[in-house]
Amino acid sequence: MSLSSMAAATALAVSAVTPVSPPLLPDLGNDGYQVVAYDLSYDFTPSTSLLPGTARITAVAGRRLPEFRLDYAGGTVAKVQVDGRDAAFHLDEQKLVVDPATAIRGPFSVTVDFTADRAAKIPSSVDPTAGWINDPDGGFAWVGQPDRAHLFFPCNDAVDDKAYFRYHVTVPTGWTVAANGPLVAQNATNSTTTFTYASAHPFAPQLAQLAVGKFTTVTGTGPNGLPLRSFVPDAAAAKPMLDQLPSFVDWLEQRIGRRFPFETVGLLGADHMTQQSDALETQTLPVLRAGALADPKNDSTVVHELAHQWFGDSAAVADWRDLWLSEGFATYFDRLYAAEHGGNSVADELRWAYETFDPTVRSLGFTPANPTRPDVMFAIARGAGAVVVYALQQKVGDQTFHRIIDTYLDRYRDGNATSADFIRVATAVGGSDLGPFLHDWLYGSTTPPMPGHPDWVAKPSTTGGGHSGPALRPGS
């Protein structure tokens, strides 16, 4: 096929995979501007759920805005300034509506003095348990995915609005602060310590992490000199998993074919984590239940969250409907890790998802790239999404599969991608026939034949499952 014919076929294939559907979380995010950076300051007192803070936000307005909105809920706001001038404001449900003295356009700054309430809860169509992880001694950690980051600080809580983060957190002596990115300063007085963290790569608010606790900090060195730093309540109990952290990262670098995408990495062990998800891929510092770090059987869960650092964090999704690009790849690689370390083969793990879960999902009107309902998007992205990734690998073989993901991760590093973007990459690398192939897998109403497995038969379940495999595995 000529280059011009291939380009035309690719464009036609991509245009066919972008059905118009309403957003899964329409109340999140705000139009008219993009955030560049968040600078967050907090003054922590363990005896109260109230957490005073200041958010300094730099952003760029793409058009003239006489007013604009930030996502914020569960706390109070004392003062707002825009470009150094006092601004009128009011809270409207989960929005902070700001009326600046003069309309903004282009670069601008916002400073919000607020007090978050760590006891606050708000409704969610996805996971009502997400939000604050509060310890009995007063410590805390964050679980912001997908719609809880605006409980922690005023923000543009949109999955596609990446920004740089800096934290300044003052705590009583004896307490430790953990956050995304490296620790860049630590200043102590007689009674307090202020920790400053700064990220070298941008991320969306849902991947922000801040924790305060009586942690032990465990440091080390990973592949290619990568600095490791983890925060756990009990270093001895977490030792089985922390000792394996360098090998986890090395294995992923080898199988994905790229170095770790960020400046540091570690694990955060959270006591009293009551969220439905048992882990979250917060950037450079995935959070897991502290008890899970004591059990070597949870190694594939740790690998899953580390795989997200490439898929979902570095190359992030542009819309929640594209979640399979994050969860599908992370699940595929955690299944591959398990298979290479004494577990079932990837084929054995995904056969049930192909034969029962995927066709059941499609029979209900959901597809991997268009789940249509927020309450099912994570299960579909992990289960049906992993099946799509496996189908692609089976279709093109390991060499082309890795060329596709290498090109994809390179092109969208520190950015966001849609399913259509991934198809463009796949067709450019692997040939225009992958356009219709991926269209059928991502949007088709029935499960396509699985390449390499003519004996696999897809048929909807009549019982609703009962399987504990990767399709319905908890965690993020």
Both structure tokens of 23: 């957003």
377 and 367 in contact (C-beta within 8 Å)? no
Contacts of 463 (CB under 8 A, 6+ apart): none
Rounded distance between C-alpha atoms, residue 287 and residue 269, angstroms = 6
Both structure tokens of 398: 């390991």
- For residue 269, the surrounding DSSP H or E stretch is strand 268-270
Coil/strand/helix, residue 85: strand
pLDDT of res. 275: 74
366 and 445 in contact (C-beta within 8 Å)? no
Contacts of 86 (CB under 8 A, 6+ apart): 79, 80, 101
What DSSP string describes 181-233? S-EEEEEE-SSEEEEEEE-SS-B-GGG--EEEESPEEEEEE-GGG-EEEEEES
Measured from the Cβ of residue 342, the count of other Cβ atoms closer than 10 Å reads 6
Instruction: Divide the 476 residues of the chain into consecutive groups of 10 and give the mean pLDDT of each group.
Output: 34 46 92 98 98 98 98 98 98 97 98 97 89 95 96 98 98 98 97 98 98 97 97 95 97 97 97 82 96 92 98 98 98 98 96 96 96 95 97 98 98 98 98 97 97 96 48 44
Contacts of 166 (CB under 8 A, 6+ apart): 37, 38, 39, 40, 196, 197, 198, 199
Residue type, 93: E
User: Using the 8-state DSSP alphabet, how is residue 297 labeled?
Assistant: G
Tens digit of pLDDT for each residue in 65-122? 999 999 999 999 999 999 999 999 999 999 999 999 999 999 999 999 999 999 998 8
143 and 286 in contact (C-beta within 8 Å)? no
Task: Tell how strand 315-317 and strand 415-417 pair up.
Answer: parallel
What is each CA distance from 268 to 87, 182, 383, in whole angstroms? Answer: 38, 14, 26
User: Using the 8-state DSSP alphabet, how is residue 290 labeled?
Assistant: G
pLDDT of res. 465: 42
Task: Tell how strand 164-172 and strand 33-43 pair up.
Answer: parallel
What is the Cα Rg of the chain in Å? 22
Rounded distance between C-alpha atoms, residue 131 and residue 107, angstroms = 31
Q: Which of 154, 218, 206, 147 is nearest to 180 (CA)?
A: 206
pLDDT of res. 21: 77
Rounded distance between C-alpha atoms, residue 344 and residue 427, angstroms = 31
Q: Which domains does the chain have, with CATH numbers?
A: 3-24+319-472 (1.10.390.10), 34-212 (2.60.40.1730), 215-312 (1.10.390.10)
What is each CA distance from 434 to 71, 188, 423, 427, in whole angstroms? Answer: 39, 57, 8, 5
User: How many CA within 13 A on the CB side of residue 250?
Assistant: 10
394 and 452 in contact (C-beta within 8 Å)? yes
pLDDT of res. 312: 98
Percent of the chain predicted with pLDDT > 90 = 87
Cα 357 off chain centre by: 23
Q: Which of 387, 306, 290 is nearest to 347 (CA)?
A: 387
pLDDT of res. 476: 59
Terminal-to-terminal C-alpha distance of the chain: 41
